[in-house]
Structure 1
Amino acid sequence: MSQILHFNGFEMNTPSHINHGLWTHPDNRRHEYTDLRYWTDTAKLLERGLFDAIFLADVVGTYNVYGGSRDPAIARGIQSPNNDPFLLVPAMAAVTEHLGFAVTFTTTYEPPFGNARRFSTLDHLTNGRVAWNVVTGYLPDAARNYGLSAQVKHDDRYDLAEEFLEVSYKLWESSWEPDAVVRDRGRKLYSEPSKVHEVNHEGRFFTVDGPHLSEPSPQRTPVIYQAGASDRGREFAARHAEAIFVGARTIEQAKKVVGQIKDLAEENGRGRDSIRFLIGLDVIVGRTEAEAKAKVADLLQYRDLIGYLVHLGGGSGIDLAAMGAEEYIEYKGRDHIQSSEAAFANKQVRDIIDYYENPTENPFFVSGTPEQVADRIEEIAEAADLDGFNLVQYLSPGTFEDFIDLVVPELQKRGRYRTAYRDGETLRERLFDKGPLAPDAHPAGQARRRLPTPIPAS
């Protein structure tokens, strides 16, 4: 695990992302998510706090399992309404110099060619500060929104994702040679045609001729984030991910997941240190214990229990509204997020309700003074072999402000948090202290080595 811990600000272009009900708090700006100033203010704040990146989640459907309807999600704003995360990045990049941007995009419903150009464009505009959080989608009505009659089955979504990434790597890494762009004014030659190549991909799901429409960007392939926690998702992550959002409900589970994926990465010819592991973290901090406790009491009174159950239903397929408190949840292998359903299998409904009613029992909920919060952050990181955290908000921007003003200085004193950005570094260089390109052992690097004049990775 690296000495410096990595932190992303966890966000979504929606009024209620993770901590549901908190949009109603008078000090929360969540309802301003449609205002560009909300996002530029957030970006400048996170850069002041020396965060690695802002991590933008996304879904392309609605949560419609609880009570057999999407109405509870719509009424409570549970990730609905929900706007496009891509369009936020150029505005936030324009007011920052260093902050990274991890954007979620699903491989299941759109072809890879346009997505490759979008990410190349963002990588150019941000000077190499972009990551792609690769997801396969899990909301059933998302499939119908994109013209499919039914949701693509779980393992088939990963088969499709594998080929989607194969095409993407070919476009980013093997279409344009490193010296294809010459910008020779005298000869009126912008690019050398002989150094721009078609990719000629013909596969099970996609046929893409190429060439890639964008010239090579600083990172070529954006940093690959991933969050799949099923067995198939972990295999996928071990091949492709450079940063993983670990899904676990205990520290022991998190450590097990980290170890399993490191083993798989090694089997795939990648080093055990080739992936950064992050987990979601809820932090409420005060200058004194009394202040921290008062903040907890204040924030939790706005918590919307039903909102959490709506969110759970969409991700797992479990409709708790149709079950009694004493009933046990049976694992049926529903084709949503299988790992989410499995996490609650054999538990009583009342246990799940208790879990969401009292978040202070969550091992990744941390409250107290700056010293106490820093102690717990270090303890979690060491115990679970983590490289960092995605900081979840209660108040926007209050959660980030408190963390930056109170916790960051304490972590800096301990040598666990950067004290400055390095000028000109890409997001990949920030995470790995190496060059801007994906390493040769990564599938993107393997695609790059097929160029007539391959680019050496640092």
Structure 2
Amino acid sequence: MTREIRFNAFDMNCVGHIQQGLWSHPRDRSMAYRSLAYWTDYAKRLEAGLFDGIFLADVVGIYDVLSGSPAPALRGAVQVPVNDPMMLVPAMASVTQHLAFGVTANLMYEQPFLFARRMATLDHLTGGRIGWNIVTGYLDSAARAIGLDGQMAHDDRYDLADEYMEVVYKLWEGSWEEGAVVANKAGQIYADPDKVHPVHHHGRQYRVDAYHLSEPSPQRTPVLYQAGSSPRGRQFAATHAECVFVNGQKKEGVREIVTDIRSRAEAIGRRADDIKVFLGATIVTGQTEKEAQEKFEDYKRYVSSEAALTHAAASMGIDFAKFDMDEPVETGKSQAITSNIKAMDRAAGPQWTKRKLLEQMVLGSRQPPLVASADQVVDWLKDWVEETGVDGFNLSRTVVPECFDDIVELVVPRLQERGLYKTEYREGPLREKLFGAPRLSERHVASSHRWGRG
């Protein structure tokens, strides 16, 4: 029996996210991203469609690899300007009851002590609906912004991340015991000092001697998302992640990634079903295939090839301005998202050109869109779940809000009719909705840092 399919909306606190240029479509409202009303309306639309959450991407640098300049990114609104995603969460949570929020935060540039408090605060304010998308970054511009010459090597970033996770686990899981909060007004005792403990961590990268400042939140540790598909990224995901985000490619490639990550998790004492996998997808749909195709042709008129190359250049660490249209692209030793380069190698062969790359980006990104009737979309989603082992989909925005309205009004009812999608939300925090319990399982590495165990 096919599992219940899960949906996250995939977006960013900016004008242009993944499908470059579509912000210029007359019906697109993403230029209103500076308005709280835009985001609260967005959240209510998603909750009406029983979406599991909104997955908010983020970058803390500017895309300046193409032509060695930020000018193309600024012209095309390629994830710049971009505002802090965390600021949106309390507002969206205030108008919803169940919608969850997966927030991207780059651990390379956040001190773990303050970050742990910030995430605990969001978990409190949302009633346990917060998740953290753990990223290590890929932009040299971000490293320079905080005073470094450039970013660390790819695998070294994951080594630092492992230690970072150890620190935040100690803070979230080990500083306050269960029952530490007494909240006794008559006795004027809020917390039992004997059950609140300092964290001592003296590591290679971090030194912390402190009490966690937040009392235990509904989930303690936020639900942990991760999106690395390189060998080192997969091992990190197998160790830490509860939800893994994979980008679209052929089914066999996705199935291999899913199987590999879950096998690695089982090898260290976790279960395969401790990890939910979400596939990135772009869907253009309508009542009929003809209607979907007409919408797709309309959208294509607003795609920006320059903006698409700007995004691809930064994510791959390759300046495409140095290559003619039909000249094989030299990928070299990139320190950016190495899995993106390998995905392109698989899609177009190892000697791919800029022309072949642009042919892949029909809607302004390397994620090929599904253009199909709502009934065909349901079949497509079902087949991907059954054949690859993914649990759900991160649906990338095209023209907002109509792209998500189409999913809610056309696709969700058909999924429900076939028993493939929930008809109401389950109660409880995000982790309980996903895994049946609000706290991390004993099989997760974080449990070793709970008081009395570490």
Please, what TM-score do these two structures have when normalized by structure 2?
A: 0.96
- 1:40 deviation in Å? 0.3
- SS of the aligned residue for 1:171 comes to helix
User: Is residue 240 of structure 1 aligned with residue 240 of structure 2?
Assistant: yes
User: Is residue 320 of structure 1 aligned with residue 324 of structure 2?
Assistant: no
| 1:252-267 matches, cutoff 5 A | 252-267=252-267
- SS of the aligned residue for 2:259 comes to helix
Q: 1:384 to 1:360 in 2, by over 3 A?
A: farther
- SS of the aligned residue for 2:210 comes to coil
Q: Would you say the 8 A contact 1:329–1:348 is kept in 2?
A: yes
Q: State the distance in 1 between where 2:163 and 2:365 align.
A: 42
**Map of 1:436 onto structure 2:** 438
User: Is residue 127 of structure 1 aligned with residue 127 of structure 2?
Assistant: yes
**Map of 2:448 onto structure 1:** 446
User: Is residue 349 of structure 1 aligned with residue 340 of structure 2?
Assistant: no
- 1:392 deviation in Å? 0.8
- 1:338 deviation in Å? 1.6
The percent identity for this pair of structures is 47
Which amino acid is the alignment partner of residue 439 of structure 1? S
- CA deviation digits over 1:22-42, x for unaligned, max 9? 111111001000011110001
| 1:411-430 matches, cutoff 5 A | 411-423=415-427, 425-430=428-433
Q: Would you say the 8 A contact 1:333–1:341 is kept in 2?
A: no
User: Is residue 408 of structure 1 aligned with residue 416 of structure 2?
Assistant: no
| 1:262-411 matches, cutoff 5 A | 262-345=262-345, 346=350, 347-357=352-362, 365-411=369-415
Which amino acid is the alignment partner of residue 88 of structure 2? L
- CA deviation digits over 1:61-98, x for unaligned, max 9? 01111112111001100000000000000000000000
- CA deviation digits over 1:5-55, x for unaligned, max 9? 111011100000011111111110010000111100010111001000100
Which amino acid is the alignment partner of residue 134 of structure 2? V
- CA deviation digits over 1:92-123, x for unaligned, max 9? 00000000000000111121011100110000
Which amino acid is the alignment partner of residue 223 of structure 1? V
- SS of the aligned residue for 1:108 comes to helix
- SS of the aligned residue for 1:265 comes to helix
Q: State the distance in 2 between where 1:185 and 1:357 align.
A: 62
Q: State the distance in 2 between where 1:343 and 1:327 align.
A: 19
Q: Would you say the 8 A contact 2:2–2:385 is kept in 1?
A: no
Q: State the distance in 2 between where 1:137 and 1:143 align.
A: 9
**Larger deviation, residues 183-192 vs 344-353:** 344-353
- 1:344 deviation in Å? 3.0
Q: 1:453 to 1:108 in 2, by over 3 A?
A: closer
Q: Would you say the 8 A contact 1:138–1:315 is kept in 2?
A: yes
Q: Would you say the 8 A contact 1:285–1:292 is kept in 2?
A: yes
- 1:360 deviation in Å? 11
Which amino acid is the alignment partner of residue 383 of structure 2? E
Q: Would you say the 8 A contact 1:184–1:190 is kept in 2?
A: yes
Unaligned ranges ≥5, structure 1: none
- CA deviation digits over 1:211-245, x for unaligned, max 9? 10000000000000000111111110000000000
Which amino acid is the alignment partner of residue 441 of structure 1? R
**Map of 2:220 onto structure 1:** 220
- 1:361 deviation in Å? 10
Which amino acid is the alignment partner of residue 238 of structure 2? A
| 1:37-186 matches, cutoff 5 A | 37-186=37-186
Q: State the distance in 2 between where 1:164 and 1:209 align.
A: 14
Q: Would you say the 8 A contact 1:178–1:453 is kept in 2?
A: no
Q: State the distance in 1 between where 2:108 and 2:173 align.
A: 22
- 1:376 deviation in Å? 1.0
- 1:247 deviation in Å? 2.9
| Segments ≥4 residues shifted beyond 3 Å | 357-362
- 1:203 deviation in Å? 0.4
**Larger deviation, residues 286-295 vs 393-402:** 286-295
Aligned alpha-carbon RMSD (Å): 1.6
Q: State the distance in 2 between where 1:358 and 1:164 align.
A: 37
Q: Would you say the 8 A contact 2:363–2:369 is kept in 1?
A: no
Q: 1:66 to 1:435 in 2, by over 3 A?
A: same
- SS of the aligned residue for 1:209 comes to strand
Q: Would you say the 8 A contact 2:252–2:388 is kept in 1?
A: yes
- 1:341 deviation in Å? 2.4
Unaligned ranges ≥5, structure 2: none
Q: State the distance in 2 between where 1:171 and 1:79 align.
A: 32
Q: 1:247 to 1:126 in 2, by over 3 A?
A: same
- Would you say how many aligned residue pairs link Structure 1 and Structure 2? 449
- 1:248 deviation in Å? 4.2
Q: State the distance in 2 between where 1:452 and 1:229 align.
A: 35
Q: State the distance in 1 between where 2:362 and 2:410 align.
A: 27
**Map of 1:21 onto structure 2:** 21
**Larger deviation, residues 385-394 vs 283-292:** 283-292
Q: 1:360 to 1:76 in 2, by over 3 A?
A: closer
**Map of 1:208 onto structure 2:** 208
- SS of the aligned residue for 2:280 comes to strand
Q: State the distance in 2 between where 1:119 and 1:365 align.
A: 34
Q: 1:361 to 1:233 in 2, by over 3 A?
A: closer
